[in-house]
Amino acid sequence: MAKTLVEIKQGLDCQIGKRLKLTANGGRRKTVERYGTLAETYPAVFIVALDQEENAFERVSYSYADILTETVELSFIEERNKIAVGEQ
């Protein structure tokens, strides 16, 4: 786990455009899980573009402090591309 906000931001900067699973504390013992893509990073917040099939809204934003305090957890999903075997 990164120890500073700067390290968290730098770690997310190189993950822009990748799919992720976002787990957030929804309050009152609720946990919210959403899937989407890391869209943008700013000096204080980052933006996640959510999958439209599953969510009523397009984007959510969180601060890097949410990751530091473990209010939000991000799990990046590695997409495995299927390689078509063609003629050689």
CATH number at residue 70: 2.30.30.100
pLDDT at 57: 80
Residue 40 placed within a domain? yes
Q: What are residue 9's phi and psi, to 5 degrees?
A: -60, -45
Residue 81 lies in a domain: no
pLDDT at 3: 82
Show the domain range for 16: 5-76
Q: Is residue 33 part of a domain?
A: yes
Q: What CA–CA distance (Å, rounded) separates 45 from 63? A: 4
What's the pLDDT score for residue 48?
A: 95
CA nearest neighbour of 51 among 63, 43, 59, 61: 59
In a domain, 86, yes or no: no
Please tell me whether the overall predicted TM-score, pTM, comes out greater than 0.75 for this model.
yes
Answer yes or no: are the C-beta atoms of 76 and 28 closer than 8 Å: no
83 domain residue, yes or no: no
- Flag whether 35 is in a domain: yes
Which residues does the chain have with pLDDT short of 50?
A: 82, 86-88
Cα separation of the two ends of the chain? 45
Give the model's pLDDT for residue 87. Answer: 45
> What is residue 71's predicted lDDT score, i.e. its pLDDT?
92
Domain count across the chain: 1
**At residue 1, what is the residue type?**
M
